[in-house]
Amino acid sequence: MEQFKGFPAKMQFTPLPNLFFSALLPQISDVTELKLTLHIFETLYRKRGYPRFTTCRELLGNRSLMTSLREGVKSPDTALGDALDMAVKRGTILHLVLDRDGVAEDVYFLNTESDRRVVTKIQNGELHLPGVKAEGQTCIEPEEQPDIFTIYEENIGMLTPMIADELREAEKLYPVTWIKDAIKEAVSLNKRNWRYIAKILERWSSEGKNNGTYRRDSTQKTSPDRYFKGEYGHMVRR
C-alpha cells in the first residue's frame, strides 16, 4: 500500500455531528459499516436541493468507497449491501424502496428529525423525489411550504440536535415568517450559520422589520431639518 503523503495547506472539510463521536462511533465495530457511514455523511453534505438523499446505485458508483471495500473477503458489492443493512438496523440511516421507471430503487436518508418527516411524507404520498416514486402510491406535489427545519437544511447545512433546539426556541420568540426571512437574508449575505441568523432576528425584534430587511428607528436618522427646527433653529443658516 502506498503511504499517505499528508494533507495539503488548502483543502475542503466535511463536518460531522458531535453526536457521531459521542454516541454512534462507540457502537460501530465493523470497519465496512464505518467506511460507509463516513461516505454517506460526505455524500449528503455535498448535496444541494430538497430533500437530500442517496441511492444504492449512487453509492455503487462512488469509486473511493468501492475501492476501500475491496480489501475484505467479500466482494465490494456484497460488502456494501451488508454495511447498508447494518447502518439501517443501527438507526444511522433511513431506507425506502421506491420505483424508478418500473425498477426498484433503494433510497437512503440520514436519520434526522427533518428527514424522518420527509420519509413519512413520501410514504403517505404527499411528496415525491425527482424520478422516483413510492411503490403503489400516487405521487402528489406537496402544497404546504417547507418548515424552518427543512429550509435550514436546504440553505445552511446539516441540522444537528443543537441547532434543532435553537430553531424550536426561536419559534417561541419570533414569527415563523421572520425565521424563514432571516435564513434567506443570511444566505444572501453568504453568512451561512445559525449565530448570524439569530443576530438578524434579535435586531429585527429590537429595531423593527420591514419587508424582510432591517429597519432602524427613524428617530436615529440624520435629517437636515433637525438643524432648522427646534429651539435654536433661528441661529442656523440654510
The last residue of one of the domains, among 134, 168, 199, is: 134
Instruction: Specify the 3-state DSSP secondary structure of 124.
Output: coil
What percentage of the chain reaches a pLDDT higher than 70? 81
pLDDT-based confidence at residue 129 (cuts at 50, 70, 90): confident
The secondary structure of the chain in percent helix, strand, coil, rounded to multiples of 5, reads 50, 10, 40
- The answer as to whether 237 is a domain residue is no
pLDDT exceeds cutoff 80 at 74: yes
Whether residue 125 sits in one domain with residue 35: yes
The last residue of one of the domains, among 134, 167, 194, is: 134
What average pLDDT does the segment 18-41 reach? 95
- The answer as to whether 176 is a domain residue is yes
pLDDT exceeds cutoff 70 at 229: no
Rounded distance between C-alpha atoms, residue 88 and residue 59, angstroms: 15
- The answer as to whether 24 is a domain residue is yes
**Cβ-Cβ contacts under 8 Å for 7 (sequence gap 6 or more):** none
Higher-confidence position of 230 and 50: 50
Rounded distance between C-alpha atoms, residue 45 and residue 52, angstroms: 8
pLDDT exceeds cutoff 50 at 173: yes
pLDDT exceeds cutoff 60 at 199: yes
- Which CATH number belongs to the domain containing residue 55 in this structure? 1.10.10.10
CA 16 to chain centre: 12
The last residue of one of the domains, among 109, 134, 159, is: 134
What average pLDDT does the segment 11-28 reach? 91
pLDDT at 188: 92
- The answer as to whether 1 is a domain residue is no
DSSP 8-state code for residue 105: E
Whether residue 99 sits in one domain with residue 178: no
Q: Is the peptide bond before 161 cis (omega within 30 degrees of 0)?
A: no
Show the domain range for 37: 18-134
pLDDT at 234: 47
pLDDT-based confidence at residue 134 (cuts at 50, 70, 90): low
* Average pLDDT along the chain: 82
Higher-confidence position of 232 and 7: 7
- The answer as to whether 36 is a domain residue is yes
pLDDT-based confidence at residue 89 (cuts at 50, 70, 90): very high
Whether residue 107 sits in one domain with residue 40: yes
Whether residue 152 sits in one domain with residue 111: no
CA 172 to chain centre: 21
Q: What is the pLDDT of residues 176-187, one digit of tens each?
A: 889 999 999 999
- The answer as to whether 227 is a domain residue is no
Side chain identity, residue 2: E
What average pLDDT does the segment 159-171 reach? 87
CA dihedral over 162, 167, 168, 174, signed as positive or negative = positive
pLDDT at 39: 96
pLDDT at 133: 59
Whether residue 164 sits in one domain with residue 105: no
Whether residue 109 sits in one domain with residue 28: yes
pLDDT at 172: 86
pLDDT at 29: 95
pLDDT-based confidence at residue 108 (cuts at 50, 70, 90): very high
What average pLDDT does the segment 24-51 reach? 92
Whether residue 123 sits in one domain with residue 99: yes
Whether residue 129 sits in one domain with residue 96: yes
Whether residue 159 sits in one domain with residue 112: no
Whether residue 160 sits in one domain with residue 61: no
pLDDT-based confidence at residue 145 (cuts at 50, 70, 90): low
Whether residue 119 sits in one domain with residue 185: no
pLDDT at 54: 94
- Which CATH number belongs to the domain containing residue 186 in this structure? 1.10.10
pLDDT exceeds cutoff 80 at 141: no
Angle at 99 between CA 97 and CA 104, to 5 degrees: 60
- The answer as to whether 63 is a domain residue is yes
- The answer as to whether 180 is a domain residue is yes
Q: Which residue reads 449491501 in cell numbers?
A: 81
Total number of domains in the chain: 2
Side chain identity, residue 35: K
Whether residue 107 sits in one domain with residue 187: no
Distances (CA, A) of 83 to 43, 92, 116: 16, 11, 21
